[in-house]
Structures are given as C-alpha cells and as structure tokens.
Amino acid sequence: MTKKITPDPPTVRNASSTADKEMYLRKFSDESSSEVAPVPANTARLLDTLALTCSKPIIPVAPHKPTLFAIQPGISAQDALTYVSNLLETAELNGDEISLHTNPVERALFWGMLHSVEVARAVVDALLEGACLPDPASPSLDSQ
C-alpha cells in the first residue's frame, strides 16, 4: 500500500454558481446606483451655498520670500472642486506607479495613503455629480 503524498485537489465550483453570483452583484449594483435620495424642496444645493475663493498664497519654505504660486480669487466652488478632482486623479495614477517600486512594508503604508486619496476623490466627484442634478425647487423650463 502506498502513501498518498499530496492532498486531494480543491473542489471545483460550478460555473453556474459563479455566474449566478456575478448576476446578483451586477443587479444589486445597478439597483443601488439608480436610487437617488429625494432632496427636500427648500434645501439649497451645496455648491450654491459656497462662496468664491479668496486669494491665498501657497506658503514657501521661507515665509519672508515671495510666493510663486497662489490661489486666485473669484473661482467658483464647482471649478475649484473640479481642479481638486483632477489633482487627486493625478495623485492616484502616480501612486499606482510608485507603489510598484516599494518594499512590502512601505507598500502597505503607501496603499493605505493611496486609498485615502481615492476616497477623497470619490467624495469630490460625488459632490460635483450632485451639483449637476436638476434642482427640484427650481421650475423646469418645460413647464414655462
């Protein structure tokens, strides 16, 4: 009698159970993404409540030196958030490249930071997308 050196191979899942799972997840994500919470009629949109930017210098290392970059006054919140979203997207792309060249300990820390950047961008993009939704309090052009 010979001894079996290797264990039995893992059981193979049915293709139908994987397909069922994928269909369920697709259906669930489609349903949840199409649901938009109703906004009360007297609620102002967030971007409408924000003021324009004020002038703000980007402080150099030595405060007595003149600054090369500054935030310009009069920029709308929507334009500022769009720029922030673009900056965060660039940080994500650079982070993906940098993470390939780090050791495993640094990589774990870096992925945590990169996740924070991705979540921040998702929040900014959600605000921008929410600002593009029609305001339920304003009369539609079709009714005029």
Residues 110-143 have pLDDT tens digits of 888 999 999 999 999 998 887 776 655 555 544 4
Query: What is the DSSP pairing of strand 70-71 with strand 56-57?
Result: antiparallel
In a domain, 30, yes or no: no
**Inside any domain, residue 12:** no
In a domain, 141, yes or no: no
Closest CA to 43 of 144, 140, 138, 141: 138
- Residue 57: DSSP 8-state: E
Q: Is residue 81 part of a domain?
A: yes
Q: Which residue has the tokens 């820390």?
A: 109
Q: Which domain range does residue 67 map to?
A: 41-132
Q: What's the structural domain count of the chain?
A: 1
Token representation of residue 26: 């697709």
pLDDT at residue number 19: 66
2 falls within a domain: no
Q: What SS3 class is residue 71?
A: strand
* Model confidence at 45: pLDDT above 70: no
Predicted confidence (pLDDT) per residue in 90-105, tens digit: 999 898 888 888 888 8
Q: Residue 66: inside a domain, yes or no?
A: yes
Q: Is the residue at 18 inside a domain? A: no
**Residue 20 resides in a domain:** no
Convert the pLDDT of each residue in 47-78 to its tens digit.
Answer: 677 778 888 888 877 777 778 888 889 998 88
Q: Is this model's pTM higher than 0.85 or not?
A: no
